[in-house]
Structure 1
Amino acid sequence: MSRGTDMFRIALLMACTACATDAVAAQEPSPVRAGARSSPAVVDQPRPFGYVVGDLVTQRVLLNFEPAALPPGQRVSIWFERRPPRIEKTSDGHRWLVIDYQLINAPPELATVQLPAWEIKDKTHGAQLKIPATPISIAPLISNASGAELRPDRNVSTIDTAPSRASVVLWSIALGITLVVWLAWFQWRNWRDSHNRPFARALHDLRHLDETAPEAWQAVHRAFDQTAGRVLQIETLPTLFEHAPHLQPQRAEIERFFAQSNERFFGAGPPSNLVSVRALCQELRRIERRQAP
């Protein structure tokens, strides 16, 4: 009896020991493969708004390893179809995985959808990069929406216009002064021309004289002498046209004036058809003004 009891106790002890061993084994962590590790990726996400059906949404992922496989081109959601990706190398030596998503559906009103998350595996170490989902705002082609999902307007900074207004005032004053100076110079030049030019002075004298008076003829003679630079007679008229060839259009009238003047002062007296010295002087003054520098 006692021997049977001992055997029962031994069997019970062995059973308890086995149960304890199984419990300890259950509490120990199971080994994890290196390929199961994952880390966040450096992602250049697309802008989050301003898309309509047919647009391309580009996502760029920085690659620090050789990928085991590139994500295939396929439809990834009701909104997007992924095109075959490509790897681009920048000038700084970095490699970027570039993926284009084409928007293939148009919402009935402005909506925000998710560009899906995905992963890419390291070919050598088995580590994975996690590319997170990103929200994209898409708009319908024709919308009657109230705009509840529109982004708020950007605050516009005010521009200080005081310097611009001061510059406008300053340059306006400078322009006004320039115009006044130019007008004053123009008036002064005309005044000087009217007092210094020979036929201008003669025409000024004729305003106060009878054109048939000897003084009127003498005033025109002085104008001819000053233009030629010497005292003129009918015999020396060619000298006048050598010094003032611009008077050639009136040569016939000038010769007629000198012939009548010679007859009037040194001959039988004034002829019956006297030259109008005022009209002649006015025409010569117009020629003189056109010739002035």
Structure 2
Amino acid sequence: MSVAAGPAVVSQPTVQQPRAFGHLLGDILTQRILLSAGDHDAGSMAPPSVGRTDEWLERRPARFETDADGRRWMVIDYQIVNVAPTLTRIALPALTLTSASGATLQVAEWPLSIGPMTQVDAFDAGDLQLMRPDRQAPALPTAPLRRQASFALGLLLLTLLSWAGWWRWRNWHESARLPFARAWRQMRRLDPPNADTSADAWLCLHRALNETAGHVVHAGSLPSLFARAPYLQPLRTQLEQFYQQSTERFFTPAPALAPYPLRGLCRALYRAEQRHQR
């Protein structure tokens, strides 16, 4: 023998609704539904689904609260997620809440109004215009930056001038002190076509070699030159050719002189001397 189940109990709960007017985009509307009070107890109610309910509202997850009198409330938040172009009537949706015991609570929809963030039409009077230009960013004080840039530029210029002055002094000092530096300075004063054939150019280079070796140098005494100035060793072949050409030029009657790159040899000797000194 079975007993037929009785009809589900449907009741209208006590609901605390949000204010019905004055809402804008982003506002949170809170609805509180009483679940138990005195002899009435709706038991464990399943909360409604979350997400968008229409084009205006999004329902957030429900939560449960107990007030100071021991009553249980279901609290549901709705957020306005769309902009109303004019004052618009919407509504919190109706709900049907069911408990595990079969009790059902019916919550009617709650009408309310939402408004636009601002008027569609501006007043077009005075400074009340439809469009306003972008606000200009405040100008930063540039005087300290200009002073710093000028100071840095001055230091850079001073550094470059100091370096250029030191470079010129070093070259002048070397040209006054080093034999091949003096020879190269004198060689550059001659016209390029005459530098390789001028007797003064050949004698100038002879003097620089003699001063470097500390004695008069000839083809047979080149080893003593390289012993005193080993940095000239890579130019041994060119120096041997130089002394061979010099002997023919100065000690052979009516010599048949072949072209010889005297200027290039002097420059090579000067650079070797520079590398050695540094």
Structure-1-length-normalised TM-score? 0.47
Structure-2-length-normalised TM-score? 0.49
Higher helix share: 1
